[in-house]
A = this chain, B = another copy of it.
C-alpha cells in the first residue's frame, strides 16, 4: 500500500490531464477521484508541475537512449532510416498514454523545465540526422521527417483508419521526406 497512492495519483492525473487539459484539471479533481483531500497530494508531489515531471521521466530516458545510439552510428542513409523507424516505434508504444498527453498539452507546458528538456532532446535528434555543413534546406527537411511522425499521429486521429494503416502511412511519408529520393 505504501507507494500505491503515488502511482494512483500519476495514473489519474495523466488521464485527466489528457482528457481535459493540464490547466483545466484541478488538483481537487484528482484528489476527489482518489478519495483524499488535495493537500494529501502535496505529500507525494511538491507541486502540480512536479506530477508532470514524474510522468515525463521515462520518456526522457528513452530519448537519451535513442540519442546515444544515434551518436554511436555513422551518418549514413541507413542510420537515418533506422533511427526514424526506432523513433516511430517509441512513439507508438507510448502514444496511448504519455504521448497523447504531451501532444495535447505542449503549449500549456511550453515553459515547463521537464518539457523543455524533452523538446531539447527532440531537436538534438533532429540535428544529429544531418552534418553541420549540410545545406539548411536538407537539414530542415530531415528535421521535418522526424516531426512528421508526431504530426502523422495527431493528424491520423482525424481520419477513420486503423492503427495499422496509420503506422504504415506515417512511416512512409516520413521516410519519403527524409531522403529526398527525387534529387534536389
Contact = CB atoms under 8 A, between A and B. Distances in A.
Contact of A172 (B107, B137, B169, B181): B137
A173 B157 CA distance: 23
A97 interface: no
Nearest to A150: B151
A117 interface: no
A176 B141 CA distance: 10
Interface of A: 21, 23, 104-108, 110-111, 123, 136-137, 139-141, 143-144, 147-148, 151-152, 155-156, 158-159, 161, 165, 168-169, 172-173, 176-177, 180-182
A48 B21 CA distance: 18
Given A23-B23, A147-B155, A173 B140 contact: yes
A91 B111 CA distance: 25
Nearest to A137: B169
Copies per complex? 2
Contact of A165 (B136, B147, B151, B176): B136
B140 A155 contact: yes
A159 B139 contact: yes
Given A107-B21, A108-B108, A181-B182, A144 B173 contact: yes
